[in-house]
Amino acid sequence: MSDEIKTDQRPELQLGSRFGAGGHDIRSAFQPARSAADFSLWTGRFYNDGINSHDGLFDKLREECGVFGVYGHPDAAQLAYYGQHALQHRGQESAGICVSDGKEFHYHRDMGLVKEVFNNEKLGALTGSNCISHVRYSTAGESKLANAQPLIFKYREGDLAIATNGNLTNAPEIKRDLERQGSIFQTTSDTEVVAHLIARSKHDDIVLAVKEALQKVEGAYAFLFMTRDKVIAARDPHGLRPFVIGRLGNAYLFASETCAFDAVGATYYRDMEPGELLVLDQSGVTEDRFSPVKHRAICAMEYIYFARPDSDIDEINIHAARKRMGRQLALEAFVDADLVTGVPDSSISAAIGYAEQTGIPYELGLIKNRYTGRTFIQPSQELREQGVKMKLSAVRKVVEGKRVVMIDDSIVRGTTSLRIVNLLREAGAKEVHVRISSPPFSNPCFYGIDTPSRKELIAAQKSVEEIRQAINADSLHFLTKEGLLASIGRPQSDTNRGHCTACFDNVYPTAVPDEEAKSWQSAVSQR
């Protein structure tokens, strides 16, 4: 591997002893030396538009991560680059690509957006026909280069690269046990837990070792593993995180969303099944399992907010599902008004559906400023208090003197909703009626979505009427859970039609580190 590719300038993470040759403590070798200037994108006098955890102007839910993999294409790195671009909405903190040419790994990863991390020179050096790649928003582990994925490891059977979207709910417990047995962790990412489990497996065969490791972890995940000659894909037994398979000629592709296939000219093949494990090597594709399918529980927020409108999840188009949510919301909470507008971008589909169902005209009452850039001078305190104006503008000539129905996908803390309602009022709106295309978000997520604690979620602390008053709306209604599930349109054969709705009903599909949460199993047993 050429030095210019490994720009993080730190050795691959060694799985095993804390001590190197000669008995010296080598932990410091894995702490990359970085100057204060390296962190200028997310600290200091600049406000960063890309690093989610420092986006103080909005209280929207934070994106998860996105994975993209290729097996058997000579331009694997270039495909990954465009696939990552399509998945950029799922994470903007870091990006990375690891490629195998059959003999060795070539990789590059860094903090920032895909277009900032890669250029023609860096991509040109990533030669090989197999690759895994990642865009990250940290929900477990700090936002730093050491946690940027794919993570690269050395272990007894050779090189191993891992990328994942999701969160392992029992990772802290497993990590403590491994540390007691002598493991030294070089990152704070829960993905490294799986690498240590693989390294400690009694199996020399990587496929068997991966199976054994996955059987010990719980949570939501879409994993891509790569050795010098194999790519292995696995999805959690509940199917919480989306994971799809595509084809491009003879090559196989994997992605968090189907929109990534459109970006590279590939075709959708099928969804990964919950608990499924696919192995791709020179002998072909081996379909296997590491777990039986448990209660299907795909994240409902993917349909509501996270996924791109042009993606399909479980063969259901996101834009169409959101339009149905808007239509259902109109049936449940009609209000006489002059126009309907949606909060860009994720709420526009639902707003169109609401308008079509009611016959009230849909208008662009709110415009998103798409050209604030990656960084800009941090606003004064006065502007910070009105910070929504840096990203949204109300169209005065459209809303002035009108009764406005404002459609949004969720309310988290309530601060953003208050700002937007006041923005419309300042532009002359006569009335502002807020309609939310999801049930009240009152419980934290433990499966890869960065949500505030329950005490910070306004729906966990206030009634709907109290929330209405807090956001200064003339009326407020949320879509019911039943209306949401019917709108998505999956069959009724599974509990919650096969969705995880824990953020709305406090019923989690797996054990979670939350004393107030009920487990899925106990809820099912009571039915």
- What are the catalytic residues? 65
Q: Per the annotation, does 408 bind a ligand?
A: yes
Rounded Cα–Cα distance for residues 94 and 471 (Å): 34
503: annotated binding-site residue? yes
Instruction: Quickly count: other Cβ atoms within 10 Å of residue 523's Cβ.
Output: 17
Kind plus residue range of the DSSP H or E element containing 47: strand 46-48
380 is in an annotated binding site: no
Whether omega for the bond prior to residue 444 falls within 30 degrees of 0, making it cis, is no
**Residue 409 marked ligand-binding:** yes
- Which element (helix H / strand E) includes 271? strand 267-271
Is 500 marked as a binding-site residue? yes
Contact between 135 and 83 under an 8 Å Cβ cutoff? The reply is no
CA distances from residue 164 to 226, 242, 398 in whole angstroms, order as listed:
12, 11, 44
In 87-161, which ranges are continuous DSSP H helix?
A: 114-117, 120-124
What distance in Å separates the CA atoms of residue 453 and residue 416, rounded to the nearest whole number?
A: 17
- Decide: 361 and 340 in contact? Cβ < 8 Å: yes
Find all residues with CB under 8 Å of 34, minimum gap 6, and list them: 145
Within a 10 A sphere around the Cβ of 369, how many other Cβ atoms? 11
Burial status of residue 491 (CB atoms within 10 A of its CB: 0-12, 13-18, 19 or more): exposed
* H or E stretch at 487: helix 481-488
SS3 sequence of 442-466: CCCCCCCCECCCHHHCHHHHCCHHH
Find out whether 98 is annotated in a ligand binding site.
Answer: no
Question: Is 346 labelled as part of a ligand binding site?
Answer: yes
Q: What are the binding residues for [4Fe-4S] cluster?
A: 299, 445, 500, 503
For the annotated binding site, the residues are: 299, 346, 408-409, 445, 500, 503
Binding residues for Mg(2+): 346, 408-409
